[in-house]
Structure 1
Amino acid sequence: QAFTVKYDHATLEKLLMETFRDDRLGDCSANILVAAYDTDNRTPFFFKHYSERVCRRHPGLRDEVAEYRDFYLRDVARATTAAPTFFEPARITATDGKEYTLVDGALAANNPALSAYVEARKLYRDARRYIIVSIGTGRSSRQYPWETIRRWGYLDWVSPLHGAPLNAMFSDGQSETVAHALKQLPRVEYFRFNVDLPDSVSEMIDDTRPENMAALEALGVRMVRDFSPQLHRLAKLLYRRRAV
């Protein structure tokens, strides 16, 4: 994996084709925001779609998302999951012929909750409160004491043998910074559900061994139990909103 991608993207693209066929972003009925990263222009790239109901309420928003409506959902999914070192970058051609080179949205928004909040402010401008639910994929419990890292060079900081600490710290730091910012905003109810990964769970995102999958499932059950008070509060807020 040090010299080429780990997986052939053809299998992923085949599954995406079977799942989405020729459905396009504009065919969706929900409001959607999907993050990717444009390597040609070195900038975040957000696929957007607003529901017909929202566009009727705010006609100006229809033009804002017009350029995204004809993207195939299979291409959107391919772009946002194109994790560097695991898959080739996604090369996507829009209906106007413009080509994009896109990689995993985590490079731009590992915790996309803040980006979603910005969009929600545009869609629901008069809202008295914004409820945000953010679900993490687990925090590494690995520590890097001074004695261990004091003489590390570049290869040590990016080595998978050490848990790729440079990338891990960047991703974790970005996610937690977003969480911290959202907790300080007025009129925002921010629910962040995340958990420290125990030693029984592999930190490798592609570890599908049966024992690791079983450990992840057990961790999920425990997570629901540990977050029970927050989940009940969230349910009450959503039910109250529905009743209104």
Structure 2
Amino acid sequence: MKEAFMDKKTGRSLTLKDTLKPVLIPCYDLSSTAPFLFSRADAFESESFDFRLWEVCRATSAEPGLFEPVCMKSVDGKTGCVAVDGGLAMSNPTAAAITHVLHNKQEFPFVRGVEDILVLSLGTGQLLEGSFQYEHVKKWKAKDWAKPMARISGDGAADMVDHSVAMAFGQCRSSNYVRIQANGSSFGRCGVNIDADPSPNNVKKLVGIADEMLKQKNVESLLFGGKKIAEQSNFQKLDWFAGELVQEHQRRSCRIAPTVAFKQHLTNQEK
């Protein structure tokens, strides 16, 4: 992975400052027992928050049990982090991303509120076996609850963020905010590995699951009203969203001032 994030001309490891657009990438820091967010904005403010991109990618995807935690330091060595998968503490980073944009006037100087933001939130899916009946679970012991509790915790936190964001967007939610969350799968317990199996057979199964998800009806959060099944499918929602992005790109091309501000990254030689 180091080679993939190397400047081929200079041999320098690329860092957060080198990203072409603003980024916000979560992980969980075991040393501080708290979520940690990598961002280009923070990297420009201080080298103590500028990290090598190959380490950032490893950190945000270091799922315990599959990959080792990542012991990393900022480029100036002043900030340390023992990172694992960001999904452990932030299974739905939508609210963090929105807050980052609203309070990041240097990179988003023309954003005044949620009405100026288009948000696409992609969930990881909720399995059919996540539904339990009272008679089935009433005599479960602690060991029986281990896996269901982990799933309930992750899905519950993600759903709470979805509901809160929908409430925050209010009347704008139908035009500014789209949440795609697959519900169940016809593959059931077929053993599809989403993390560590790149075999053609497994990839084919994953593509099939993705196609199934696109055909499902979209599920929307209601203000103080739980959820409802929308008339449109996930594919139709994504197709509409893509159209909105095209229109926004056309509008931006007519503006004199850029919508996103950029800082010049000066090398040590230039400084």
Same structural fold, with TM-score higher than 0.5 when normalized by the shorter chain: yes
Q: Output the CA distance in 1 between the equivalents of 2:192 and 2:119.
A: 26
Where structure 2 has 5 or more consecutive residues not aligned to the other structure, the ranges are: 7-12, 216-232, 252-271
CA contact under 8 A between 1:138 and 1:194: conserved in structure 2?
yes
Q: Are 1:172 and 2:162 counterparts?
A: no
CA contact under 8 A between 2:28 and 2:86: conserved in structure 1?
yes
Q: Are 1:241 and 2:248 counterparts?
A: yes
**How does the TM-score come out when normalised to structure 2?**
0.70
Q: What letter is aligned with 1:20?
A: F
1:28 — aligned with what?
Answer: 19
3-state SS of paired residue (1:191): strand
Q: Are 1:150 and 2:138 counterparts?
A: yes
**How does the TM-score come out when normalised to structure 1?**
0.77
Say which of 126, 129, 136 aligns to 2:112.
126
1:129-160, Cα deviation, whole Å (9 max, x unpaired) = 211101122211102222232232322222xx
Q: Are 1:72 and 2:52 counterparts?
A: yes
Q: Output the CA distance in 1 between the equivalents of 2:191 and 2:95.
A: 28
Matches within 5 A, 1:88-237: 88-97=68-77, 98-123=79-104, 124=108, 125-126=111-112, 128-142=115-129, 143-158=131-146, 164-186=147-169, 187-188=172-173, 189-200=176-187, 202=191, 204-206=193-195, 208=197, 210-225=200-215, 226-237=233-244
CA contact under 8 A between 2:47 and 2:74: conserved in structure 1?
no
3-state SS of paired residue (2:178): strand
3-state SS of paired residue (1:77): helix
Identity %: 26
Please provide the CA RMSD for this pair: 2.4
Where structure 1 has 5 or more consecutive residues not aligned to the other structure, the ranges are: 1-15, 51-59, 159-163
Aligned length: 213
Give the C-alpha shift of residue 90 in structure 1: 1.1
Alpha carbons of structure 1 residues 146 and 18: separation in structure 2 relative to 1, 3 Å: farther
Deviating beyond 6 angstroms after TM superposition, the runs of 4 or more aligned structure 1 residues are none
Q: Output the CA distance in 1 between the equivalents of 2:234 and 2:153.
A: 26
Alpha carbons of structure 1 residues 120 and 241: separation in structure 2 relative to 1, 3 Å: same
Structure with the bigger percentage of helix: 1
CA contact under 8 A between 1:24 and 1:73: conserved in structure 2?
yes
Q: What letter is aligned with 1:19?
A: A
Q: Output the CA distance in 2 between the equivalents of 1:152 and 1:67.
A: 48
CA contact under 8 A between 1:39 and 1:103: conserved in structure 2?
yes
CA contact under 8 A between 1:202 and 1:212: conserved in structure 2?
no
Q: Output the CA distance in 1 between the equivalents of 2:119 and 2:132.
A: 32
